[in-house]
Structure 1
Amino acid sequence: LLRQCSRSKDLARGRQIHASIARSSAPQDPVVGNWLIQMYLKCGSLIDASQVFYQLLETSVVNLVAWTALIAAYARNGQTKLAIRLFQQMQLEGNSPDRITLVTIFEACGNPENLEDGKKIHAYLSCNSDVVLGSSLITMYGKCGSLSEACLMFQSMEEWNTVAWNSLMGAFVQHDRVEAAMELYWEMLQCGFLPSRPTFLTVLAAISSLESLRHGKLVHDTLVEAGHEDDVVVQTALVNMYGKCGSVVEAVEVFDRMPRHDVILWSAVISAHVNCAEYEESLRLFRKMQLEGNRPNNVTLVSVLSACEGPQALETGKGIHECVVEAGYEGDLIVGNAIVSMYGKCGSLEDAWDVFHRVPRRNGVPIGNALISMYGRCGSFGKARDLFDSMAERDAVTWNTMMSVSEQLEHGRDSIQLFRQMLQEGTPPDKVTILTVLNVCASLPALQEGKAICAWLDHTPLSANQMIGNAILNMYAKCGSRDEARRIFSVMQGRDAVSWNALIGAYGSYSRGRYAFQIFQAMQLEGSTPDAVTFTTILSVCSHGGLLGEAVKWFRWMREDYYVEAETGHYGCIVDLLGRLGRVPEAEEVAEKMPAGTDPIVWTTLLSACQVHGETQRGKRAAERLVELDPEVTSAYVVLSTIY
């Protein structure tokens, strides 16, 4: 009977059976008691299971299965400290943990505040010969932010399996060490291990972060060979990856090959179009999805709401808002944010406020965050700050949003002050907070404030994050502290292209172009692949140093040797360099020949060069092109008037 209740998750029936047992002579029976514990856990009643457990513990023996099940239930419920205490109590009662119990407790220790408990348990065990326990420890250390411990555990294992590789790759991805994750993936293949479904999901997430289409296609070929072309979860991850890499054509090809399309796959292909700014097509797919009988979920709705931008899209946005109400997602926090954001992007502040006032109070903070962001996009710093100050409750996202708005609207000092206030009020900063405030320190620049933030970071798990490490390096570089930037670079656990780019920029900004070129060579020797940003940084070094010959060579190498397509930033550097050297006709020729079309930044650079060198007619043409691209750019007329 108890087994039937467990299978059907019939809690009411289970309680009736328990009451009958209590009236009989069976309640002290350890076998019955253990079955009751497992039944309550299967039915989702942790309180009932705990009561039976502790009653049984006073009078008879609790078996290892019940101990493990209750430890796992506490961990799943977020009560990790209770799970750890129960594990310790189990040992005091004379019960030795088996492999399942240990895997369970390592999962419970998988957050920074439980790292020391996890280390203590690990210290009493010899897990090097057990690949399952070793993999669990790698995952635990990764979740705790201790990547060095995760790597040491992996290296000390007597044998590896695919799970161990996946665990370390997952740890790298979790902490934004995506290049390291990709290197590990290629090494795994070279060692003869076959990638599994979790391998592909992890590595596709890494590629999505890198936005590396070349790597994505290679992994796609491998997963087809491995027989995962019909796995809807893997194929959905592929669609997401292609969307993040800006290749909507491949995303659609994967989507069309699938025989059945569920709501998650539809959401992925719609999101891919939104990510590539193909808003009309994303809305068409949304309508087609509904016509085929698929109900949108919150992810779908957030994507199509993001596709509504500008006054012309307001009516479409309102129609999607009606779909949100019909689908029952109006109370969803993320969807509510997207609705407010949509109305803000469409210029309807009244509708945004109406949504804000109609949401339940418990949802007020996230919607308030969206309103602050909306005011920021509208350039209303005062209104954003007034709303922020008036909010009775603020979470980390609230602080992050206000800091970001302050940065965008050139109130950087306010961002730093907000960070201090956030700490004083006891709201723990997250990764986004630190990235925002470090970026502010870099752009002001504010070296002393940046140093203080780094000193605070040293005592937190966030210091292990790759993106934060790169942000620290960039901050020191932008603040002119090259030696400190070099020191940070030398002690970083993992160095990716972003790290190298920041260091190259640090030396290039101070007329030390030759040093920047040497760093590029070192980057290659270490096996890190230069990306488009690397070459933008190198070309910027050439521009500031007046090194035209070097710039031409680097531009050619970029395209012919590294297969990096020239982008706006690359052309902009060449135009800027030619302008600095007074070779304005050639600068105009480069701007005209841009294969990707014209760009306001390039024409603004050319216009400035025309102003400096008195090139009236070319300045007029540059101003006209600039106004064509953005009619609201009044600065073009101002600069042009000074030329005349």
Structure 2
Amino acid sequence: MAIPNPSLVSLPRSHSLPTPNPNSITLNNDRYFANHPTLSLIDQCSETKQLKQIHAQMLRTGLFFDPFSASRLITAAALSPFPSLDYAQQVFDQIPHPNLYTWNTLIRAYASSSNPHQSLLIFIRMLHQSPDFPDKFTFPFLIKAASELEELFTGKAFHGMVIKVLLGSDVFILNSLIHFYAKCGELGLGYRVFVNMPRRDVVSWNSMITAFVQGGCPEEALELFREMETQNVKPNAITMVGVLSACAKKSDFEFGRWVHSYIERNRIGESLTLSNAMLDMYTKCGSVEDAKRLFDKMPEKDIVSWTTMLVGYAKIGEYDAAQGIFDTMPNQDIAAWNALISAYEQCGKPKEALKLFHELQLSKTAKPDEVTLVSTLSACAQLGAMDLGGWIHVYIKKQGMKLNCHLTTSLIDMYCKCGDLQKALVVFHSVERKDVFVWSAMIAGLAMHGHGKDAIDLFSKMQEAKVKPNAVTFTNILCACSHAGLVEEGRTFFNQMELVYGVLPGIKHYACMVDILGRAGLLEEAVELIEKMPMAPAASVWGALLGACTIHENVELAEQACSQLLELEPGNHGAYVLLSNIYAKAGKWDRVSGLRKLMRDVGLKKEPGCSSIEVDGIVHEFLVGDNSHPSSKKIYAKLDEIAARLETIGYVPNKSHLLQLVEEDDVKEQALFLHSEKLAIAFGLISTGQSQPIRIVKNLRVCGDCHLVAKLVSKLYDREILLRDRYRFHHFREGHCSCMDYW
């Protein structure tokens, strides 16, 4: 439904606003029938059917045509614990001359409903049909409706009307305006209303403090609280909820503890909402111990209390404690399930997230919602679990859930990371509304699959659609240029970021640019770019340079990059591994031994390579030399067969790649053939049909020997192999890879 034009709202019958009638009935004060026995029955009703019976009796006796009596019926229909706005509207339409109280009641009910547009339409009818002009009780409800709709222009029109009819000093209306402007993202206008108020009550201060907190200005909220103290305005529980939220957003633990003691000293009425706000503050400030002490003392707990504790434990990595809270909860609503699933997914435990999702499906205690599905799709993306991801896509359709931007982005990301770029494109093109994150996700998908030119074309279409790119978009488009070797295009995008699009290049963009130049062998230009950076280079920048040195075997520059990287991240085992590989390729075996010894001395171990493959909805994981799988005998038999067939076409293992396993000094030569991705390929060959692609996810960069073997296997066995490593996708088909050996 279209929002009413504010110009219609402000001009009821003439070109100027009528002066309010001081004798108009603004309250229900015409109470001739107030004690009528029929009206007393209205308060005893517990369902709409009973109201309708009284309505019929009022029509028979003529009582309905008394404005006060009719307003009692309207109020019960619209604002009771069992409201029926459709019925209230029908009753209202039967009243010959509704009084102002009745108009206000209906406006108020719609303003708080799921259809606040109707509140504005009722107001327009009132301007044209009622002899009474809106009063100080009308405007707060209208402003609330504009706030729910986030209609800035309409709300401003109401603000103007308020001033014209001399209600500009009414504290209730001004408090509504503060909330309205904040909801519309106009904190400055809301603060101007607050500052210019002739009189402020505690609600005024609370409204402004809450507005600052929700608007991402916690420091201003705390400053306002301090000013409130100097003005001798006594804060209440709502004030303290806002102040605690500000502390949580700032992670200001010390001030948060002071606020807790302030609440106790001033005996500010404790409530469940206030206790939950304190719990939230402690968990977000990282002090689960304080939160647990408070939690144990709370006389009353609700689902929010339990969920807050669950999230607190999950946030600091204490998953057993989080699971314990979850198992102990008296009621596990979907918010609790979501909190734990999201915690596992965000902390790199996708298997646990999917296990919990399966438990949710079996539990029957709650139903997955949008938040559940977004987290679960992300876990599927991490593991390459496309069967489950595809099932969720079907579930969304069957449940009639609207594909909003969050779900769309998650589906695109899942399909891309599971290796099905075409399905990701189908999802992308199927939705009408695409925000910047949907476009960016699709560009990222094309980038990781090596479709650099297509990613650039999509970026151009994004401009045509008038969607402004953000920092994430540029990270993705620069990655596309890097994976496809599009150096000139990368330079152009990087140089246009601030000048053309107003996006300031950040660390990630510089790291991408160093990667683009480094991969192309332009190491001097990459170093020059690092030296000119307006901020200190982060570990990702030095890591990109070190990776490029590995490709082009530049020992001297690699040593410099590694030194800088380890200074920032002393525990970065990947830096040692890369430098060790460079030394090995250069034949500097003494330095290889020195690095291995240094890693042992500082207690560092190389991250073990792990490859996963989904078969019939089950994700199977393999480590190097893994023999724990139930099908190990068949897998190793297949590996022997592969080795024999490879030997017949002249394949010779590249032994230099053994050096990546720097912590395992006793590795035998044949261990090269036991890399995790080779085990996963063998398992894929024995457990999937000839027409099915073998989809593998590797947690590290695929080594050169495994890359060569995958190409050869794809030709020998006529199988398509899709291998996702830490950086990109490799599509192996008929002896070739989509990366063209540029990775």
Normalising by structure 1, we get a TM-score of: 0.65
Aligned equivalents of 1:444, 1:320: Cα separation in 2:
37
* Equivalent residue for 1:65, pick from 101, 120, 123: 101
How far, CA to CA, are the matches of 1:546 and 1:141 in structure 2? Answer: 43
Ranked by relative contact order (alpha carbons within 8 Å, sequence separation 6 or more), the top structure is: 2
Q: What is the match of residue 238 of structure 2?
A: 198
Alignment partner of 2:137 out of 87, 100, 105: 100
Among 265, 273, 284, which residue is 2:313 paired with? 273
Deviation, structure 1 residue 335: 3.8
Residue among 441, 466, 475 paired with 2:474: 441
CA distance in 2, matches of 1:2, 1:68: 20
Kept in 2, the 8 Å contact 1:311–1:347? The answer is no
- Unaligned 5+ residue runs, structure 2? 1-37, 480-491, 512-528, 548-555, 611-698, 705-743
C-alpha distance after superposition, 1:418-440 (max 9, x if no partner): 78878989xxx9xxx86x74431
1:629 is aligned to 607
> Which of residues 53, 60, 68 in structure 2 aligns to 1:31?
68
Tell me: CA distance 1:71–1:345, structure 2 relative to 1, closer, same or farther (3 Å).
same
CA-to-partner distance for each residue in 1:579-631, whole Å, 9 max, x for gaps? 98977897698568x5xxx3457768987999999965565568888762353
- The residue number in structure 1 matching 2:91 is 52
Q: CA deviation at 1:186?
A: 3.9
Which residue of structure 2 lines up, in the alignment, with residue 303 of structure 1? Answer: 339
Tell me how far 1:303 sits from its aligned partner: 1.8
Within the alignment, does 1:117 sit opposite 2:154 as a pair? Answer: yes
Match of 2:403 in 1: 365
Provide the C-alpha distance between the structure 1 equivalents of 2:541 and 2:276, rounded to a whole number of angstroms: 34
Q: Is the 8 A contact 2:443 2:455 kept in 1?
A: yes
Relative to 1, partners in 2 of residues 1:192 and 1:417: Cα closer, same or farther, differing over 3 Å? farther
CA contact (8 A) 1:381 1:406 kept: no
Match of 2:660 in 1: none
Deviations 1:507-532 (A, max 9, x none): x99xxxxxxxxxxxxxxxxxxxxxxx
Aligned length: 522
Q: Following TM superposition, by how much is the alpha carbon of 1:14 offset from its aligned partner in structure 2, in angstroms? A: 0.7
Query: Shift of the alpha carbon at 1:295?
Result: 1.8
CA shift at 1:168, angstroms? 2.2
- After TM superposition, list the pairs within 5 Å mapping 1:221-232 onto structure 2: 221-227=261-267, 230-232=270-272
* Equivalence map 1:558-597=2 (5 Å): 590=567
1:176-229 C-alpha deviation (Å, 9 max, x unpaired): 334433443444345444433223333443444444445544444444444459
Distance, in Å, in 2 between the alignment partners of 1:420 and 1:179 is 40
| 2:49 is the alignment partner of 1:16 | no
Task: Tell me, yes or no, if the aligned pair for 2:334 and 2:367 is still in contact at 8 Å.
Answer: yes
Please tell me the residue identity of whatever aligns with 2:126.
M
Please tell me whether residue 238 in structure 1 is matched to residue 278 in structure 2: yes
Per residue, is there more helix in 1 or in 2? 1
Shift of 1:107: 0.9
Corresponding position of 2:205:
165
* Cα distance between partner residues in 1 of 2:427 and 2:499: 42
- Aligned residue number for residue 457 of structure 1: none
Tell me: CA distance 1:225–1:88, structure 2 relative to 1, closer, same or farther (3 Å): farther
Q: Does residue 175 of structure 2 align to residue 135 of structure 1?
A: yes
1:394-451 Cα offsets, whole Å, 9 max, x none, are 6668x845633543773698788778878989xxx9xxx86x74431366469xxxxx
1:404 aligns with 2:382: no
CA distance in 1, matches of 2:69, 2:339: 51
Which residue identity is paired with 1:49? A
Bigger mean CA offset, 217-226 vs 269-278: 217-226
| Cα gap change, 1:591 to 1:55, in 2 (>3 Å) | closer
Where do residues 451-462 of structure 1 align in structure 2 (5 Å cutoff)? none
What SS class does the counterpart of residue 99 from structure 1 fall into?
coil
The superposition leaves residues 304-353 of structure 1 with CA deviations (integer Å, 9 ceiling, x where unpaired) of: 33337344665554334312x2x1425x4444555555555565433443
Question: What SS does the corresponding residue of 1:27 show, helix, strand or coil?
Answer: helix
Q: In structure 2, do the counterparts of structure 1 residues 259 and 48 end up closer, same or farther at CA, with 3 Å as the change threshold?
A: closer
Q: 2:41, 2:592 → 1: CA distance?
A: 88
Q: In structure 2, give the amino acid aligned to 1:66.
A: T
1:103-160 C-alpha deviation (Å, 9 max, x unpaired): 1121122156632232222223245543332221111111222223212211211233
Aligned residue for 1:48, secondary structure, equals helix
TM-score by length of 2: 0.58
Q: In the alignment, is the contact (CA less than 8 A) between 1:252 and 1:269 conserved in 2?
A: yes
Question: What one-letter code is carried by the residue in structure 2 that aligns with 1:102?
Answer: F
Residue 356 of structure 1 contacts residue 364 of structure 1 at CA under 8 Å; is this kept in 2?
A: no
Distance 1:94 1:546, change over 3 A: closer
Kindly report which structure 2 residues correspond to 1:360-399, keeping only aligned pairs within 5 A, or say none: 360-363=398-401, 365=403, 370-378=410-418, 380-389=420-429, 391=430
1:80 equivalenced with 2:58 (yes/no): no
Q: Secondary structure at the match of 2:309?
A: helix
Residue of structure 2 in register with 1:524 after alignment: none
> What residue number does 1:177 align with?
217
Which deviations, in whole Å up to 9, do the C-alpha atoms of 1:55-104 show, x marking residues without a partner?
22xx33x2222111100122222443432343344345232433322211
1:154 and 2:187 matched: no
User: Aligned AA for 2:294?
Assistant: V
What is the percent sequence identity of the aligned residues? 23
1:14-66 alpha-carbon deviations (Å, 9 max, x no partner): 1011112222333322222212211211242222222222322xx33x22221
Identify which range, 476-485 or 185-194, moves more after superposition: 476-485
Contiguous gaps of at least 5 residues in structure 1: 447-475, 490-501, 510-542, 552-566, 639-644
Do the aligned residues in 2 keep the contact of 1:600 with 1:629 (CA within 8 Å)? Answer: yes
After TM superposition, give the deviation of residue 297 of structure 1 in Å. 0.8
Seen in structure 2, the aligned counterparts of structure 1 residues 406 and 198 have a Cα distance that, compared at 3 Å, is farther
> Which residue number corresponds to residue 674 of structure 2?
none
Instruction: Rate the CA distance shift 1:416–1:135 in 2: closer, same or farther, 3 A.
Output: farther
* Aligned partner letter, 2:69: V
